[in-house]
Amino acid sequence: MIDLELDDGLAVLTIDRPHARNAISLDTMGELEKALDAAEGARALVVKGAGERAFVSGGDLKELAAIRTEDEAVAMARRMRGVCDRIAAFPGPVVAALNGHALGGGAEVAVAADIRVAADDIRIGFNQVTLEIMPAWGGAERLAALVGRGRALMLAGSGAVLDAAEAQRLGLVDQVIARAAFEEGWRALARSLATVPAGEVKRVVSDGTSADDAVRAFARLWVADAHWSAAERLLARGK
């Protein structure tokens, strides 16, 4: 089950499959696609799991075990990679709120986001090698972009599972929050990013944006009514 909360420009997508530790099945992929459709127009997106045990524990092995041919495996991997690509390409900032462990495919979903915020007691790892497979949903490439090629090979090749502090040290996690303050912390961050300027910052820091594009993005914001209203409020406080 996928829950979608829409609140003043912020979309919160929650993977809620407690019986499977929020693992991804084929049906879950379809629900994620529909939820992302429904989230279009939001200024920021949060992806999280339900509960405190798991963000996403990977693919649902009980259901995906029915996939036995190479062509079936290709189709499944392409479909979920497409979901992760859509998360990565979301126009506004995307936050993965790591409420619990993010393992295997769960780590791949996490790195599709722009920002990873983790509770201090979670673990994260690309441990697909324990099943004699490798990341297939774009996670290996995104991991390399985050931590470098050598570290990506070391982590995904060995299946190492990291605690939150070590993941932050390596650049895999951006912020670690104490469990007691986690809900409040990720919501505050996400709300601060649910703005038009934050969306423009995401666009200009993405690959392929020229200096002229960045200047023009600034200029569009400068002449907008929202900028002048904010400037007037600031000037009024200084009187």
What confidence tens digit (pLDDT) does each residue in 83-126 have? 999 999 999 999 999 999 999 999 999 999 999 999 999 999 99
Query: Does residue 20 carry a pLDDT above 90?
Result: yes
Query: Does residue 53 carry a pLDDT above 70?
Result: yes
Between 54 and 236, residue with greater pLDDT: 54
Q: Is residue 168 part of a domain?
A: yes
Range of the domain at 50: 2-193
**Stated pTM of the model:** 0.94
Query: Does residue 207 carry a pLDDT above 90?
Result: no
Query: Does residue 201 carry a pLDDT above 70?
Result: yes
Pairing of strands 123-125, 161-163: antiparallel
**Helix (H) and strand (E) counts in the chain:** 11, 10
Q: Is residue 123 part of a domain?
A: yes
- How confident is the prediction for the chain on average, in pLDDT? 95
By the 10 Å C-beta count (0-12 exposed, 13-18 middle, 19+ buried), 25 is classed as middle
Tokens 């995904």 — which residue?
A: 156
Q: Is residue 203 part of a domain?
A: no
Q: Are residues 119 and 186 in the same domain?
A: yes
Domain count across the chain? 2
pLDDT digits (tens, 9 = 90+) for 136-185: 999 999 999 999 999 999 999 999 999 999 999 999 999 999 999 999 99
Q: How far apart are the first and last CA of the chain?
A: 53
| 5 strand-pairing partners | 12
Q: Are residues 13 and 57 in the same domain?
A: yes
Contact 123, 161 (CB under 8 A): yes
Helix (H) or strand (E) holding 133: none
Q: Are residues 123 and 97 in the same domain?
A: yes
Contact 49, 55 (CB under 8 A): yes
Give the Cβ contact number of residue 141 at 10 Å.
13
